[in-house]
Amino acid sequence: MSGLPKFSHPNLLVGSEHFDDAGVYQLTEDIAIIQTVDFFTPMVDDPYLFGQIAAANALSDVYAMGGTPITAMNLAAFPTCKDMKMFADILAGGADKVIEAGALLIGGHTIEDNEPKYGLSVCGVCHPQKVIANTGAKVGDLLFLTKHLGVGIITTAIKGDLITEEEAKDVLQEMAQLNKVACEAMVSCGITGATDVTGFGLLGHMNELLRGSGVGAEVWADRVPFWPAAVEFAKDGVIPGGAYRNHQFLKKEIDFGELPKYLQMVLCDPQTSGGMLMSVPKEKGGQMESFLEMAGRAYAIIGSVVAGSGIRVKAE
């Protein structure tokens, strides 16, 4: 991949250099566009719910940059031998999330494939001076997280018939929840550093935020909002392969201290449509809490940004 060309332009505000959630290009003095794309295979059997989760996941990249989604296009793959009502239900779930986001679904592209896949290409807008990126964390900031961890473990358990989708209803509903409120809170509080938590897990995405900002972090494991079922499944070894890969990749960046291995794996668990990880100046922490509480959104303060590099996890 290192041989691929690098792109630069005076109007390109955010490219691929710091592994940000989306690209940002300035159009005018007051308008920048945010461009992103994301799609994947089903993690639940309910096609409508799958469409909702996939769409919420793709829209989240725009929210992570502090933007407002304005248009979206479907990206889909589906086998022609399957029931086409299932395909229609997937698209309906995605469309309803686009409507909830206040954006417009303006088309898309579909190919035939043996395994269903679905997601969105999303275009959003923001003010060029208010872009939220992976380079804005500062020493002393508090780290806020707005969704529970462990959905990769839960969906692995669902696929293994260890838990039903009905039993995991609360988990799946949170996965389908937009990060719109978290974005509004960040913009309102003037936050400059954030990312959403997806396939690299909490610690993987946190590491990208910290490296882009040239700082380190201390994580308070007892404050992290784990899904209880995910912790129990992790104890029993029900862990997706992506968590092991994330853990292996991060082992030189993280000091886990005395934290049990199963909790280390939940911290590295790949999330689908996870929450927002925000680096919030301490003096704005109360304002952020008030905003999220008034909006009825769950959150947790899980650590702080420190000088240096890497992540140190405190078990208590």
Residues 150 and 281 in one domain: yes
Domain boundary among 83, 103, 130: 130
Q: How far apart are CA 56 and CA 160, in angstroms?
A: 24
Distance CA 64, CA 195 (A): 5
Is the CB of residue 204 less than 8 Å from the CB of residue 151? no
Q: Are residues 120 and 151 part of one domain? A: no
**To the nearest 5 percent, what fractions of the chain are helix, strand and coil?**
35, 25, 35
Domain membership flag for residue 149: yes
How many residues in total does the chain contain?
A: 316
* Angle at which helices 180-189 and 285-294 cross, to 10°: 150
Same domain, 248 and 155: yes
Using the predicted structure, report yes or no on whether residue 1 has a pLDDT greater than 80. no
Identify the CATH number of the domain in which residue 109 sits: 3.30.1330.10
Domain CATH code at residue 234: 3.90.650.10
Integer Cα distance of 41 and 59 in angstroms:
17
Q: How far apart are CA 265 and CA 263, in angstroms?
A: 5
Q: Domain range holding 29?
A: 12-130
| 205 and 273 inside one domain | yes
Q: Do residue 181 and residue 214 come from a single domain?
A: yes
Alpha carbon distance 236, 92 (integer Å): 36
- Tell me: the pLDDT tens digits for 225-234? 999 999 999 9
Q: Where are the beta strands (DSSP E) in the chain?
A: 12-14, 23-26, 32-40, 68-78, 104-112, 117-126, 142-145, 193-196, 216-220, 254-255, 276-280, 300-306, 311-314
The percentage of residues in the chain with a pLDDT greater than 70, rounded to a whole number, is 100
Q: What is the pLDDT of residues 13-52, one digit of tens each?
A: 998 877 778 899 999 999 999 999 999 999 999 999 999 9
Same domain, 18 and 96: yes
What predicted TM-score, i.e. pTM, was given to this entire model? 0.95
Same structural domain for residues 124 and 208? Answer: no
Q: Is residue 185 helix, strand or coil?
A: helix
Residue 137 counted as domain residue: no
As for how many domains the chain has, the answer is 2
Instruction: Please tell me whether residues 214 and 147 are part of one structural domain.
Output: yes
- Both 102 and 167 in one domain: the answer is no
Is there a domain that residue 187 lies in?
A: yes
Q: Is 300 domain-assigned?
A: yes
Q: Are residues 295 and 171 in the same domain?
A: yes
The reply to whether 66 and 190 lie within a common domain is no
